[in-house]
Amino acid sequence: MAEVTLLEGKVDLIKKGMIKAQPLMLGDYVTNGDRICTKKSSRIELKLPDNSLMRFDELTTFEIVCVEFDEKTKQRDINVSMVLGKTWANVSKLFGKRGRFAVSTKTAVAGVRGTVYRVNVAEDDTVLVKVYWGEVGVSSATKQDIASQSQQTMKPTKVLGPHPVADPHAVSMEEWTYIIKSMQQIIIRPDGTPTKPMPFLAGEDINDWVRWNQERDKKN
Domain ranges across the chain: 65-219
Enumerate the β-bridge partners of residue 13: 22, 36
Stronger pLDDT, 153 or 212, i.e. the higher one:
212
- By the 8 A CB rule, do 42 and 9 touch? yes
pLDDT in tens, 163-214: 444 444 444 445 799 999 999 999 999 999 999 999 999 888 989 999 999 9
Task: Specify the DSSP class assigned to residue 194.
Answer: B
Task: Please give the pLDDT value at position 98.
Answer: 63
User: CA 210, CA 130: separation in Å to the nearest integer?
Assistant: 11
Torsion angle of C-alpha atoms 117, 119, 137, 220, degrees rounded to 10: 30
User: CA 80, CA 101: separation in Å to the nearest integer?
Assistant: 9
Stronger pLDDT, 172 or 133, i.e. the higher one:
133
pLDDT in tens, 34-79: 999 999 999 999 999 989 999 999 999 999 999 998 888 878 899 9
Task: Please give the pLDDT value at position 191.
Answer: 92
Task: Specify the DSSP class assigned to residue 195.
Answer: P
Check whether 158 has a pLDDT greater than 60: no
Task: Please give the pLDDT value at position 176.
Answer: 92
Stronger pLDDT, 92 or 163, i.e. the higher one:
92
Task: Please give the pLDDT value at position 174.
Answer: 54
Check whether 150 has a pLDDT greater than 50: no
Q: Which one of 1.10.10.10, 3.30.230.10, 2.40.50.140, 2.60.120.1440 gives the CATH number of domain 65-219?
A: 2.60.120.1440
CB atoms < 10 A from the CB of 141, how many? 19
Task: Please give the pLDDT value at position 166.
Answer: 41
User: CA 116, CA 133: separation in Å to the nearest integer?
Assistant: 5
Task: Please give the pLDDT value at position 94.
Answer: 67
Task: Please give the pLDDT value at position 145.
Answer: 52
Backbone angles phi, psi at 143, to 5 degrees: -60, -35
CB atoms < 10 A from the CB of 62, how many? 27
Count Cα atoms within 13 angstroms, Cβ side, for 78.
Answer: 33
Indicate the pLDDT class of residue 113, thresholds 50, 70 and 90. Answer: low
